[in-house]
């Protein structure tokens, strides 16, 4: 092993340098897509950056750091384009980019994987309707559906519940667990078919090794208007490795939501009493359960409270 020289930089100084650089890399770009010329405290960024980054014979310290600053935003925006094509189609290009930038600035990634980049978007949109006005409710519906799609795509599929797992148990008292890839949605607009159409070309997420992003050209979209407003219910789930949006009846949504929240079978079914199911309610509910079991939606039992 080489003989080490005395250390000049401490571990703490290293951490401070990395914190400083990360702050610079993650700062929003200007409207023209460049690094901001003023530092956070108002000083010229060139002066601040030159204190820790060397210049060379072609680029100033500022220009060298700017490469990383721009790459950061190009990469994250690209990920957002891939994950939220429906939202982009509804908002149009410019408002979508503005939304992405503001969301990412306030919600920097806290995960090692870009897959989770949008995990806080629904909450963010709910408290920032100005960014999606005048289509805020529609935008919220799409953001929820597109996040549910991501969850359905690669969340776990656990072992399906078998009839034998229930033997000897009091059926009324059991608490069924639903698959982690299943999300139940109550939406204000009919957006499923719209998103299916848009996603036809979508592929798998693919992170690349060491490759720097170029500012990719995304084909422009004309903002979509007039998607039908009607309360509707969906189960977003995975079946045989495909993601599906299964329409649910109101009673199905009520029942599944109750089960997902941990209600016993008896308590969940009791919530149907208010809905007045047509025909033979018992037969209807049995048929629902048969379908859901065939889709593999039940994956175990929650412990009794």
Partner 1 sequence: MPANPFNHFTDYGIGIGLRVPHYDHILSEKPTVDWFEIISENFMCDGGRPLKILDQILEQYRVVQHGVSMYFGSPGKPDREHLRKLKRLVRRTKTPWLSDHLCWGSVDGRYTHDLLPMPYTFAAARVTAQKIREVRDFLEVPVCVENVSSYAEFHVSEMTEWEFLNEVVERADCGILLDVNNIYVSSRNHSFNPFDYVNDVPAQRVAQIHIAGHSKFRKYILDTHDHPVIDPVWKLYERAIQRVGRTATLLEWDDRIPSFNEVHGEALKANQFLQRLENETLKA
Q: What are phi and psi of 186, to 5 degrees?
A: -105, 120
31 or 54: whose CB is closer to partner 1?
54
Which 132-161 residues touch partner 1, going by CB under 8 A?
152-157
User: Contact with partner 1 (CB under 8 A): which of 31, 42, 51, 219?
Assistant: 51
Stretch of residues binding partner 1 (CB under 8 A), selected from 35-43, 236-244, 250-258, 272-280: 236-244
Quick count: other Cβ atoms within 10 Å of Cβ 51? 8
215 or 287: whose CB is closer to partner 1?
215
How far apart, in whole angstroms, are the C-alpha atoms of residue 137 and residue 229?
10
Stretch of residues binding partner 1 (CB under 8 A), selected from 52-60, 91-99, 169-177, 244-252: 52-60
3 is a site residue for partner 1 (CB under 8 A): no
In residues, how long is the chain?
305
Stretch of residues binding partner 1 (CB under 8 A), selected from 20-28, 32-40, 129-137, 270-278: 20-28
Could you give the 3-state DSSP secondary structure of residue 46?
helix
How far apart, in whole angstroms, are the C-alpha atoms of residue 81 and residue 100?
9
How far apart, in whole angstroms, are the C-alpha atoms of residue 209 and residue 145?
30
53 or 301: whose CB is closer to partner 1?
53
Q: What are phi and psi of 145, to 5 degrees?
A: -65, -40
Q: How far is the CB of 3 from partner 1 (least distance, A)?
A: 11
Q: What are phi and psi of 248, to 5 degrees?
A: -120, 150
Quick count: other Cβ atoms within 10 Å of Cβ 220? 8
Q: How far is the CB of 18 from partner 1 (least distance, A)?
A: 5
User: Count of residues binding partner 1 (CB under 8 A)?
Assistant: 68
User: Contact with partner 1 (CB under 8 A): which of 111, 167, 201, 219?
Assistant: 111
283 is a site residue for partner 1 (CB under 8 A): no
40 is a site residue for partner 1 (CB under 8 A): no
How far apart, in whole angstroms, are the C-alpha atoms of residue 121 and residue 27?
19
User: Contact with partner 1 (CB under 8 A): which of 46, 63, 97, 137?
Assistant: 63
How far apart, in whole angstroms, are the C-alpha atoms of residue 277 and residue 251?
8
71 is a site residue for partner 1 (CB under 8 A): yes
Task: Compose the 171-210 pattern: x for residues touching partner 1 by CB under 8 A, - for all others.
Answer: ---------xx---------------------xxxxxxxx
Q: How far is the CB of 145 from partner 1 (least distance, A)?
A: 17
Distances (CA, A) of 100 to 84, 97, 153, 218, 288: 10, 5, 22, 14, 39
How far apart, in whole angstroms, are the C-alpha atoms of residue 106 and residue 143?
17
220 is a site residue for partner 1 (CB under 8 A): no
């Amino acid at each position: 092993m080489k003989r080490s020289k005395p250390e000049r930089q401490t571990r703490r100084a290293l951490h401070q340098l990395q914190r400083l650089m990360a702050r610079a890399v993650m700062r929003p770009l200007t409207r023209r897509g460049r690094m901001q010329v003023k530092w956070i405290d108002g000083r010229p960024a060139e002066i601040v950056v030159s204190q820790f980054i060397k210049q060379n014979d072609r680029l100033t310290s500022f220009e060298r750091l700017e490469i990383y600053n721009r790459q950061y935003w190009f990469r994250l925006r690209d990920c957002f384009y891939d994950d939220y094509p429906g939202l982009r189609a509804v908002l149009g290009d410019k408002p979508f980019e503005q939304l992405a930038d503001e969301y990412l600035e306030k919600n920097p990634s806290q995960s090692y994987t870009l897959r989770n980049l949008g995990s806080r978007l629904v909450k963010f949109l709910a408290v920032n309707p100005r960014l999606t006005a005048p289509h805020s409710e529609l935008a919220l519906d799409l953001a929820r559906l597109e996040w549910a799609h991501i969850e359905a795509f690669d969340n776990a599929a656990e072992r399906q519940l078998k009839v034998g797992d229930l033997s000897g148990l009091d059926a009324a008292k059991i608490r069924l667990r639903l698959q982690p890839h299943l999300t139940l949605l109550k939406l204000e607009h009919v957006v499923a078919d719209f998103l299916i159409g848009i996603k036809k070309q979508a592929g798998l997420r693919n992170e690349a090794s060491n490759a720097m992003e170029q500012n990719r050209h995304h084909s422009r979209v004309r903002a979509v208007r007039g998607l039908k407003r009607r309360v509707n219910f969906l189960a977003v789930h995975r079946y045989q490795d495909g993601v599906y949006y299964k329409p649910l009846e109101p009673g199905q949504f009520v029942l599944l939501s109750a089960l997902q929240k941990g209600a016993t079978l008896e308590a969940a079914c009791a919530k149907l009493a208010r809905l007045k199911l047509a025909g033979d309610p018992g037969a209807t509910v049995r048929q629902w359960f048969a379908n859901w079991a065939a889709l593999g939606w039940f994956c175990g039992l929650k412990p009794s409270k």
